[in-house]
Chain A
Amino acid sequence: MQVNVLEYFEKGALIKCRDKVAVVDQEGQYTFGEMGRFAKNVAALVSKKISTVNSPVAVFLPKSAQTIIADMGILYSGNAYANLDVKSPPQRLSSILQNLNSPVIVTSAQHKAALEAIGVPKEKLLLVEQALVEGKLYDDAVLSGRLDLVIDSDPLCIIHTSGSTGVPKGVALSHRGTIDFMDWVFERLSLDGSEIIGSLSPFYFDIYTLELYLTLAKGATLVIIPDQCAAFPATLVEFLAAHDISFIFWVPTIMVNIANQDLLGRRKLDSLKKVLFAGEVFSTKHLNYWRRQVPGAMFVNLYGPIEITVDCTYFIVDREFKDEEKLPIGFPCRNTDVLILNDQNQPAKADEPGELCVRGTSLALGYWNNPERTAKAFVQNPLNPHYPELIYRTGDLVYRNSRGEIMFIGRKDFQIKHLGYRIELGEIEHAVLQVDGISNCCVAYHQNKKEIVLFYEGGQDLSPAFLRERLLAFLPKYMLPTVFSRMELLPRNPNGKIDRQKLASGLT
């Protein structure tokens, strides 16, 4: 067998603990044995539609055990999965599918209408229900033959993120990057099959990569937390306690909400042992609350843009921090190197700010079907004149403190982190300009209030409610502006460009 993540399937829990519960969702639960059989059924059905390997296969299903079965099946067929948001506005979905050019889309009887409505031909659709049958639709030898064609540098999955041109970018992660990250994280955080994972993030987010392969490699149980829990922190805490969740990986916003309402003072999370967070800066004050309330747990701050397989730096909270102190993003994960480059493209000195750049196997393969953008983002390592070696320039400013820990400062450009999502303000502006009656606009981010602020020129009849409704056709909800500010004329700088600095300064 070639080196690819299918080793996790063939040597991991699917073989070693077939009767153990692998995934629990609102509909019920599946054992590892059932997951494996259904996944191979999916693989057989996908293989009938795609004769080659390493094609992208979109998955248009709500977060559920079925999505995991579909993803595993796509991998068994030798292809790469791309999980999509079933709540995506039609135009966004359409542009993602156009870029993916997926020969097959795995969906369900309930969700196929949304795809047909945007013109996806019926013959491209594969209904997951066809695979969830008692019988065995596959031939092991045939699947094995396909897997022999997939090597470690091939694509594992494609994750979509906001793009500044208005078109979301598909980031392709490799088998090798995933294997390296997972093997490291198992060892460094002492993860094993006893974990009960609480899964709150969407499956089209990169946190899913860690959750999925921890389940499949080690035999942990993945419990899918119902969507509505995210809206109701008290309900969420109750769910975590009732299901004995021991491991969770999420964005800090949720932890802040729980801390602000002192919910852990009323309901103890005795089973919770490992709490990983990433995606945005977590205030130390709220972390301290969590450490007091869940004293037996390990807290880990992870950092990594979507162009890296899950994350590239980590910090295990190993000492006391004052509320006003910043939490480090720590140290590089194994097989990942972090370069901090100053304006002269030279390594920054201790305490000198520089751009965080990443090299190593954790780098994504690039942006799917977008060689130009890939060439701009993944560039030659300026410190290595000897042979081709790519680094990813994150656009994040950092420095090393006196302990050698990496400290995050902020973004270099107009990209923001909001509610755990990375968002290009340019994509929001692009959408706003498509609304009739808008003549110009500028989007800024209020860091302290965590608000996306839209400044726009247009008629007085363009109410926030109207704009919000129109923008929902182009943008997912988390990208909608929070504050709408109509102006007769946006401020300009001497060369006629919108004066972003002036608008942004009004927010502070």
Chain B
Amino acid sequence: MKTIAEILKEIRPEFDFAASHDFIADGMLDSFDVVTLVAALDKQYGISINGTDIVPENFKNLQTIEALLCKSGVRL
């Protein structure tokens, strides 16, 4: 199973996501990337992320995305 970091690397291969604390502020994820990421996470973990949870705070970094997955019912 792919990790969150691997999924992010597929979407934006040019960035080092581990080095960033805020993907949005650092301009690493734009609207197309977020849509792609949500679809990839849903597919990978067999979940459906709630629309109200798709907010910038939950996509800031690897930790916040992990927390979002846990909230969505994924056991990491």
Q: Are the C-beta atoms of A233 and B51 separated by less than 8 Å?
A: yes
List residues of chain A with CB within 8 A of the CB of B32.
Answer: 231, 419, 477-478
CA distance A266 to B32 in the complex (A): 25
CA distance A287 to B24 in the complex (A): 30
Min Cβ gap A121→B in Å is 28
Instruction: Bits for B4-44, please: 1 = Cβ < 8 Å to A, else 0.
Output: 00000110011000000000100001111111000000000
List residues of chain A with CB within 8 A of the CB of B54.
Answer: 231-234, 261
B56 sits at the interface (CB 8 A): yes
List residues of chain B with CB within 8 A of the CB of A231.
Answer: 29-35, 54, 56
Q: Are the C-beta atoms of B13 and A235 separated by less than 8 Å?
A: no
Question: Which partner residue on chain B sits nearest A260 by CB separation?
Answer: B51
CA distance A469 to B55 in the complex (A): 26
A464 sits at the interface (CB 8 A): yes
A446 sits at the interface (CB 8 A): no
List residues of chain B with CB within 8 A of the CB of A262.
Answer: 51
Instruction: Bits for A459-489, please: 1 = Cβ < 8 Å to B, else 0.
Output: 0000011101100100001100000000000
Which single member of A263, A464, A478 contacts B52 (CB below 8 Å)? A263
Min Cβ gap A27→B in Å is 16
A228 sits at the interface (CB 8 A): yes
Min Cβ gap B46→A in Å is 19
Q: Are the C-beta atoms of A227 and B51 separated by less than 8 Å?
A: no
CA distance A464 to B7 in the complex (A): 12
Min Cβ gap A298→B in Å is 26
Among A231, A260, A419, A477, max chain B CB count under 10 A is at A231
A503 sits at the interface (CB 8 A): no
Which single member of B24, B30, B35, B55 contacts A234 (CB below 8 Å)? B55
Q: Are the C-beta atoms of A234 and B31 separated by less than 8 Å?
A: no
Chain B interface category by residue count = 10 to 19
Q: Are the C-beta atoms of A477 and B10 separated by less than 8 Å?
A: no
* Given A228-B31, A478-B32, CB of A235 within 8 Å of CB of B56: yes
CA distance A266 to B52 in the complex (A): 9
Q: Are the C-beta atoms of B31 and A227 separated by less than 8 Å?
A: yes
CA distance A230 to B32 in the complex (A): 9
CA distance A478 to B30 in the complex (A): 11
Which single member of B9, B24, B50 contacts A228 (CB below 8 Å)? B24
CA distance A323 to B34 in the complex (A): 29
List residues of chain B with CB within 8 A of the CB of A472.
Answer: 14
Q: Are the C-beta atoms of B31 and A261 separated by less than 8 Å?
A: no
List residues of chain A with CB within 8 A of the CB of B14.
Answer: 469, 472
* Given A231-B29, A235-B56, A261-B54, CB of A465 within 8 Å of CB of B9: yes
Q: Are the C-beta atoms of A234 and B52 separated by less than 8 Å?
A: yes
Min Cβ gap B27→A in Å is 9
List residues of chain B with CB within 8 A of the CB of A263.
Answer: 51-52
Min Cβ gap B9→A in Å is 7
Q: Are the C-beta atoms of B30 and A464 separated by less than 8 Å?
A: no
Q: Are the C-beta atoms of A468 and B31 separated by less than 8 Å?
A: no
List residues of chain A with CB within 8 A of the CB of B34.
Answer: 231-232
CA distance A228 to B24 in the complex (A): 8
List residues of chain B with CB within 8 A of the CB of A478.
Answer: 32
Contact residues of B between 56 and 73, Cβ < 8 Å to A: 56
Min Cβ gap B56→A in Å is 6
List residues of chain B with CB within 8 A of the CB of A260.
Answer: 51
List residues of chain A with CB within 8 A of the CB of B13.
Answer: 465-466, 468-469
Write the residues of chain B forming the contact surface with A, with a CB cutoff of 8 angstroms. Answer: 9-10, 13-14, 24, 29-35, 50-52, 54-56
Write the residues of chain A forming the contact surface with B, with a CB cutoff of 8 angstroms. Answer: 227-228, 230-235, 257, 260-263, 266, 419, 464-466, 468-469, 472, 477-478
Please, could you name 18 A-B residue pairs with CB atoms under 8 Å apart, sorted by A?
A227-B31, A228-B24, A228-B31, A231-B29, A231-B30, A231-B56, A232-B54, A232-B56, A233-B54, A234-B51, A235-B55, A261-B51, A262-B51, A419-B32, A472-B14, A477-B32, A477-B33, A478-B32
